[in-house]
């Protein structure tokens, strides 16, 4: 039972990083976009490396032992792409009409932490946004629409975070060291999400506490998702002892690898490119892979 609480604790840590992003938006005098670019690239590097090198192979080993070499590989591959289709379906069912990882201009964030800073001319920002790079945010909306967009972004992020919570939880359940690495990667990935939720809600309500609260709640969906999934698995497939069969864990591992690869390619790398300049995102990506590789080698 100890390992379950460790896994759950790591998932809570990863999810609450949205609150860190929100706190940065409200307290930092300037947003360090280069840090956000490198950290999101780093997160993608960790997720991609650990997905292909560690989690995918764990799925193969477990399923091959349960169903034989050939069948195990087929089930593992199907589960991997099944994970991709699952997160892709979530993307389509909850379309983020406004990118949850949208990049906010410095002048947009300034009034959050400095009450004397002038509120930007959002109509001008909206007009400028027509020719802006993809991912740039458009605040040219009425307050009610802005609030709705902020809440929708929080909901979209919350739903996206369910699979991330499951990924962190399952990895930590199997190997706490691996779970810690993934939790750090997910936490870094959640920092810009916290900013994305806070900014529109603050401008719609003028309430810092409310903006911070919704940002934090969107991240707490990760431990909620992990807990619900774990209880459902124990109830539906757990034996008398409640232990989850190894073949089910194998399918879940392969599916989690697919989810993490999808998140890295669809969300993290584009966000890292939008925040950074030059090769910042590539530096972050390679650094994440190297740190993850060294961690895995030192733990063996």
> Whole-angstrom Cα distance, residue 66 to residue 105?
52
Write the pLDDT tens digit of every residue in 20-30.
888 876 776 56
Write the pLDDT tens digit of every residue in 71-106.
999 999 999 999 999 888 877 766 544 444 455 566
Q: Give the structural domain span for 36.
A: 2-299
| pLDDT of amino acid 102 | 53
CA neighbor of 266 nearest in space, from 88, 14, 56 = 88
| pLDDT of amino acid 84 | 93
| pLDDT of amino acid 75 | 96
- In the predicted model, what is the mean pLDDT of residues 234-245? 74
Which helix (H) or strand (E) element contains residue 245?
A: none
| pLDDT of amino acid 127 | 41
Compute the CA torsion angle 292, 294, 298, 300 (nearest 10 deg).
Answer: 60
Q: Are 3 and 243 in contact (CB under 8 A)?
A: no
**Total structural domains within the chain:** 1
pLDDT at 52 over 70: yes
Confidence of residue 60 (pLDDT cuts 50, 70, 90): very high
- In the predicted model, what is the mean pLDDT of residues 240-264? 85
Is the full-model pTM beyond 0.95? no
Q: Which residue has the tokens 């706190």?
A: 23
| pLDDT of amino acid 170 | 82
- In the predicted model, what is the mean pLDDT of residues 133-147? 50
Which helix (H) or strand (E) element contains residue 130?
A: none
Give the distance, in angstroms, between the CA of residue 101 and the centroid of all CA atoms in the same chain: 10
CB atoms within 10 A of CB 19: 21
| pLDDT of amino acid 300 | 65
Classify residue 211 by burial, with Cβ atoms within 10 Å: 0-12, 13-18, 19+: buried
């Amino acid at each position: 039972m100890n390992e379950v609480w460790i896994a759950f604790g790591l998932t809570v840590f990863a999810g609450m990083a949205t609150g860190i992003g929100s706190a940065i938006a409200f307290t930092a005098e300037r947003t360090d976009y280069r840090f956000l670019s490198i950290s999101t690239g780093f997160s993608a590097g960790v997720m991609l490396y650990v997905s292909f090198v560690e989690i995918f192979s764990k799925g193969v080993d477990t399923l091959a032992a349960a169903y034989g070499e050939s069948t195990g590989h087929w089930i593992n591959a199907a589960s991997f792409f099944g994970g991709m289709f699952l997160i892709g379906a979530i993307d389509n069912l909850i379309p983020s009409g406004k990118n949850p990882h949208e990049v906010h201009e410095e002048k947009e964030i300034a009034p959050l932490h400095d009450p004397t800073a002038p509120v930007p001319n959002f109509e001008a920002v909206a007009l400028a946004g027509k020719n802006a790079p993809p991912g740039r945010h458009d605040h040219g909306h009425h307050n009610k629409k802005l609030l709705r967009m902020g809440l929708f972004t929080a909901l979209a992020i919350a739903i996206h975070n369910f699979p991330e919570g499951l990924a962190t939880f399952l990895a930590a359940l199997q190997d706490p060291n691996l779970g810690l690495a993934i939790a750090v990667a997910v936490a870094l990935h959640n920092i810009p999400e916290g900013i994305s939720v806070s900014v529109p809600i603050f401008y719609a309500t003028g309430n810092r506490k409310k903006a911070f609260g919704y940002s934090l709640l969107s991240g707490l969906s990760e431990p909620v998702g992990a807990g619900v999934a774990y209880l459902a698995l124990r109830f539906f497939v757990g034996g008398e002892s409640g232990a989850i069969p190894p073949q089910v864990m194998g399918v879940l591992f392969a599916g989690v690898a697919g989810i993490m690869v999808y998140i890295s390619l669809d969300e993290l790398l584009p966000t890292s490119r939008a925040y950074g300049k030059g090769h910042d995102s590539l530096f972050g990506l390679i650094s994440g892979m190297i740190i993850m590789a060294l961690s895995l080698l030192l733990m063996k």
